[in-house]
Structure 1
C-alpha cells in the first residue's frame, strides 16, 4: 500500500482593514486638519479686512513692514498643508463621492487661500511703498536742511569778505539766483509732505507739515538776507555815484563863480576908479553876478548835506557891505568863509576846500 503523507497547508495572511474603516480613519483626520485650516483662514481674512494702521514715522512704518513680511511668510508656509488637504480630499472623494470633498469644494478652498495670500502680498507692497515714500521725504528734508546751512554760511562769509562793493554785488546776485532756483526742490518736498498726510498718523502728519513749513521759512529768510545785502550794496554804490556826480557839479559851479567874479572885477575896474563907487553900487553889482550861483550852490550843498563844509572865497575889495551881502545871503544854507582882500584887477584863485 502506498501511504500518502499529506502535510496540511497553513496560511498566515493579515487581512487589511475594511474599506469602511479606512474611510472612517482618513475622514476623521481630514476633518480635523480641514477645520484647523478653515479657522486659520478666517483669522487671516479678518486681519486683512482691518484697514492699515497709520504710523508715526519712518521707524514705525519699517517695523510695520517687517511684521507684515513675517505674516506673509506664514501664509506662504501654509501652502504645503493645503496641498496635503487637497490630496486627501481627492482620495476621499474617489472612495465616497461625497460632495463636501468634490473638485468644486477643493477649488473653493484653493481660491480662499489664494485670496488671503494675494491680499497679504498687496498689503506688504502698500506698506513698503508708504515706508519708502516717508524715507524719500526724510532724505529730501535732510539734504535741504544741509543745503540751507551751507548757503547761509556762504552768505555770511561773502558779506564779511574784503572786496569791492561791485564784486560783492555780483557774487550776491549769483548766490541769489542759485537760492531762487531751489524753490522747485522746496515745492517737491512740500508735495511729498502733502502726500504723507494721508499715510501717516495724525501726530506724524503734524510733524511732517511743521517740517515742510520750517523749510519754507528758512528758505524765505535766506532770500530776505540776500535781498537786504543786495539793497545795501546798491544803495552804497548809488550814494557813491551820486556823491561823485554832485561833487563834479559843485566843482563846475565854483568854476562859474570864478568867471562871475572876474566879470565883476572887469566891470568895477574898466574906466572907473573903484573908490569912487559907493558901497550900495558895489553891493548891487555883487548881487547881480552872484545871486544865481549862490542859489545853485545852496541847492547842491543841501543835497550833499555838507553841513559844516565851507568854501573860502577871496573877495576883490575891502568894503564891509560887500562882505556882509555875501555872508548873509538869504539862500545860503551853509556858512561861507569870507576872506577880505584889497582890491585887485585880477581875483586870486577861489579856494574850494
Structure 2
C-alpha cells in the first residue's frame, strides 16, 4: 500500500491542522499546542506522521513519562491516533510496530495506547474494536481500562428538536434562565483577568466538591493554549454577580472543557440555576458556527444510576438527551517483564 512513517516537524502546524481537520474524529486534545503543553508535567513528546503514496493519512503523538530515578517509565499514546482513512490491520500493524520500536529505544517498562475512537455510538457498535483487538492482542497488548463514556449532542438538529429531546427539568431550567434577564459575556480571545476569575470559581468548586484541581499556573497556560486554538469562554452574570463560567473547545468535535458554578447564586433573589443554561448557550453558539457535534465531556455510563457517587453530574448531562458514546478501551503491554508488571499493578491493580 506504500505506507511510510516519519518524524513530524512540529513547527509546521498548518500541515498538522490540515491532517487533524480531515481526520475521522478530530479533537482539541490532538492539537500540537495541547499535546506539547504536557511537557510542563515532565513528559517527553515526539510526533510522527504516516503517509500513503506521499499523502498524509495518519498522525500520532508519542509521550514518555519517567518516575524519579527512572524506576518506572511508560511510553504512551494518550491523545489518540489521527486517521483520515478507516483503520486497516496493515496500517495499524505498521504503526504499532513503530511505536513498540520507539518505546524499546527509550528503555521504558510499559506501553499504553488510548485510540480515542468510538466503540459504541447511540447503541450502535463501530468496527474499530475488532480491528484494534486483532492487531494489539497479536502484539501482546491487553485491555487495562474500559473506554470512557460521554454524550454527544447532534448540532445539526433544530433548536426545537434539541429541546424536545431534553428531559422536562432541563427544559424548565433553561426556560427559567431565558426569562431571568441574565447577562452573558462571550469571550473568544485569551484574557488573564477573565481566566483568573474562572480559576477562582473553579478552585472554589474543587474545595466544595472535594476534587483535585489544576494549579493556577497550569490552568492559565492550558486556557491560553485552548483559546489560541479557538476555544470560547462564557460568563453568566445575575444582577452583576458572576454565577457561572464555562469553556468549550471548537477545534474538531467541539467539547465542553471546564465549568465553574458560583454556589452563592442561591442567595441572590430570583436568580435561576445557571448550569443547563450554560450548556444551552454553548450548544447555540456552536450551531451558529457550523459545528455538527458537541461532546459533553465524560460521564460514567449510558443511563444514570442513583447510587453512583457522581449521580448528580451524570443525571445533569443525561438530561440533554444526547447520544451515548463509549470509546475504545486503553491497551497496555509490558516491555520490561518485572517493572512493567509492577507498574501495571500499582496503576491498575492488575497482574
Q: Given the two structures, how large is their TM-score scaled by the length of structure 2?
A: 0.17
Radius of gyration: which is bigger? 1
Q: Greater share of helix residues, 1 or 2?
A: 1
Q: Given the two structures, how large is their TM-score scaled by the length of structure 1?
A: 0.17
